[in-house]
Structure 1
Amino acid sequence: MSRFLLVVPPLTGHINPLVAVATELTARGHEVAWCGDADRIHEAAGADAVVHPCTLPDTGELVRPPTLTGPAAFRFLWADFFIPLAEAMAPAVADAVRAFRPDAVVTDQHAVAGALVCERLGVPYFTSASTSAELVDPLADLPKVAAWLTERLTALRELIGDPAATHDPRFSPHGVLAFTSRALVGDTADLPWERVHLVGPAIAERPGDPDFPWDALDASRDLVLVSLGTANTDAGARFLNEAARALDLLAGQVQGVVVDPGGLLTDPPPGVLVRRSVPQLQLLGRARAVVSHGGHNTVCEALWNGLPLVIAPIRDDQPIIARQVADAGAGIRVRFGRVDAPKLAEALRTILDDRGGHRSAAEAVGRSLRAAGGRRAAADHLERLVAEHPLVSTAG
């Protein structure tokens, strides 16, 4: 059996797909360890997960001004978070490789230290693409920003990687695990498809919420889940209030559950259930539609269940994912900063009544995501990686 080290940033949406892969690898008799923020990993993967902890940079959490969007948000994300994160994680990643002696490493695209340390130490690795946005070159129309990022990654490689390497460290030459499917990502002719493995969502059981008021759900109405994920609390107040009002406008047909981790909804309508956290996978199994910011995990989990979406992207990869969903016919995109309750209610009516065929399109994408193989396909590719690229050295 083999040893696999999983390197992740301190972002729940990037950790969750690999939790399912780790579960599958362990079930096959392999040994799995993690490298990253211990608290986040244990929260997602369980208290028994073996973690080689990393010291985080002073930035710690990803916090950005609510109004920061577009290229400015992208530059901030890399200059103020991902690059300092790589510099801070690199020593611990190298120590974990030497101590655990993995046969292969799986490193998130945005935990760049994993890729650069592996190339320096001669360890085969796969990249984990937790979002499909990177697969379609999000900087294709922003050449100056692309050049800026290339310069930063080259300097980072000089510091912690192999200066002789020339490939983009976000795309391993050994292979990329992308947790999506062709039906969602669309046609991307420039991708090295021999190295990019579209495995669909890797979904594992998550801890339930014993305090969730299941008895409060009304089976006679359509359940709609509203969520902006875990990293957008700073930007969500206006939108969540408009969403709650939209749900109230549809109260005869719809029961809304709004995820509000920041406690931003101080006076929600009486028929709207507001929770700081929810058992999302269980709720999606009972829902009829989802309102989302376009976070990749939530989108794929909704489509996995055949649920159409109303998507209000905020920044980062979310506009690309929203476009992919709309292009697939599986949802409606609205403007996060401008949509009001009546317009949001109308978008919800459209997908709930299936006026534009959004439900059947969502079900078709869902079938594609399921057919991609998920965690089992990911584990198959990793076993093949170890067989084809036996470990050469961990010295250096």
Structure 2
Amino acid sequence: MSRFLFVVPPLVGHINPAAGVAAELAARGHESAWACADPGLVRRLAGAGAVVFPCAGPVPGEGEGLRPPDLRGPEALKFLWERFLVPLAEDMAPGVRTAIDAFRPHAVVADQQALAGGLVAELLGVPWATSASTSAEFTDVLAGMPKVADWLAGLLRTLRTRVGDPAGTADPRFSPHLVLAFSTPELAGADAVTGGRIHWVGPSIAPRPAAPGFPWEWFDPARLSVLVTLGTANTDVGARFLTECLTALRARADRVQAVIADPGGVLTADGHDKDVLVLPSVPQLPLLERVDAVVCHAGHNTVCEALWHGVPLVVAPIRDDQPVVAGQVTGAGAGIRVRFGRVTAAGLGSAIDAVLHEPGHRAAAGRVRTAFRAAGGARAAATRLELLAGRAPSKEAP
């Protein structure tokens, strides 16, 4: 039996893929623990019995570090790194070290945005893998912005001197031992980095806890169905977009039903009826087995879960890696991109009609689905981690 410590940020889309891998490792007789700034979130997603070492650190949506909703482009990237990722790494580092000392893992699995995982593991000499829950970093998105690339490199060097080994050389976003990319080149594109320590294992899809009570009998088999979701971290900017979606879908109510995830409550006054179902949260994975199209923000998790089921998408990227992921969707032919801040109900309606009725998008989504399932997902990731742990020194980790 080997022990694995998962170091994750307090973000649903980053914990879910790791939870699938941890479940597969448990099924093989291994033991896992977690280090996170939000232990309650980990236990909600990975199971109430998950062993979680609490860490300090900012939790999105709380405190004074809230990102201005209209921040975009390089300024959004700067905010993400300076106000979230770097503070999170600095705050998490002591808790990660405590977790390693107490749990004594044979390998650390560090999310690409939980930089303390790789830096502290390198400092203590513990083999570590990168869990890349988005494929955006595998293309050179900063190639046209050399000053931004230099700024980021300097930021990472400074961070290493504060929480890691100043003599270390590894990029904390890319383990020198193993990088698990939870996608495939069929979606990420021909320019994505492959080979060596990088293994494209496909999405880690596993059953997850879901509250009972979803009205499955509401679906009308005579109509197509659409899921609309902006994820869990965009309630601050979603009101206008969701309203335009609602208008577009109501105009197609004779032939389309819609389920809209509305965690911010901006549409609750509209109520539930036979055409549109508005809920604060939805059982996304079971719904993806039922719906015919998805309208979303191009979050990597949502995109991969939709394409795992062969469901085409309308993508409206907001910020961070979402424009890159949206480009991957359209590059693969599996969906249509619209402008989040400017699209109208008419434009959304045309895009929804296209992915529902033009067969090319569904065929492309099917091709990605085939590639995803062939890659192995959580099983392939677990096998790679077993090999990594097997290369650990025979004595227990320090």
Same fold by TM-score greater than 0.5 = yes
What pairs with 1:211-226 in structure 2 (closer than 5 Å)?
A: 211-226=213-228
SS at match of 1:243: helix
Indicate the residue corresponding to 1:35 in structure 2.
Answer: 35
* Residues 1:178 and 2:186 are matched in the alignment: no
SS at match of 1:233: coil
What pairs with 1:267-346 in structure 2 (closer than 5 Å)?
A: 267-268=269-270, 270=273, 271-346=275-350
Indicate the residue corresponding to 2:126 in structure 1.
Answer: 123
What pairs with 1:1-396 in structure 2 (closer than 5 Å)?
A: 1-36=1-36, 37-57=38-58, 61=62, 63-188=66-191, 191=193, 193-268=195-270, 270=273, 271-354=275-358, 357-390=360-393, 394-395=397-398
Q: Is the 8 A contact 2:243 2:267 kept in 1?
A: yes
Deviates more, 1:346-355 or 1:288-297: 346-355
Q: Is the 8 A contact 1:121 1:393 kept in 2?
A: no
TM value normalised by structure 1 = 0.96
Deviates more, 1:267-276 or 1:307-316: 267-276
Counterpart-to-counterpart distance in 2, 1:245 and 1:268: 11
Deviates more, 1:367-376 or 1:269-278: 269-278
Deviates more, 1:65-74 or 1:204-213: 204-213
Q: Is the 8 A contact 1:64 1:234 kept in 2?
A: no
SS at match of 2:270: coil
* Two-structure CA RMSD over aligned residues (Å): 1.5
| Aligned sequence identity (%) | 60
Q: Which residues of structure 1 form unaligned runs of 5+?
A: none
Counterpart-to-counterpart distance in 2, 1:366 and 1:79: 36
Partner AA of 1:47 in structure 2: A
Counterpart-to-counterpart distance in 2, 1:72 and 1:193: 32
SS at match of 1:234: coil
- Cα pair distance change 1:57/1:258, threshold 3 Å: closer
Deviates more, 1:260-269 or 1:120-129: 260-269
Alpha-carbon offset, residue 208 of structure 1? 2.4
Partner AA of 2:232 in structure 1: T
Counterpart-to-counterpart distance in 2, 1:391 and 1:306: 44
- Cα pair distance change 1:392/1:194, threshold 3 Å: farther
Deviates more, 1:311-320 or 1:158-167: 158-167
Alpha-carbon offset, residue 389 of structure 1? 3.4
SS at match of 1:350: helix
Counterpart-to-counterpart distance in 2, 1:68 and 1:392: 49
Q: Is the 8 A contact 2:295 2:314 kept in 1?
A: yes
Alpha-carbon offset, residue 391 of structure 1? 6.1
Q: Is the 8 A contact 2:44 2:209 kept in 1?
A: no
- Cα pair distance change 1:264/1:60, threshold 3 Å: closer
Counterpart-to-counterpart distance in 1, 2:281 and 2:164: 39
Counterpart-to-counterpart distance in 2, 1:76 and 1:322: 21
Q: Is the 8 A contact 1:227 1:258 kept in 2?
A: yes
Alpha-carbon offset, residue 192 of structure 1? 5.4
- Cα pair distance change 1:392/1:146, threshold 3 Å: farther
Partner AA of 1:317 in structure 2: D
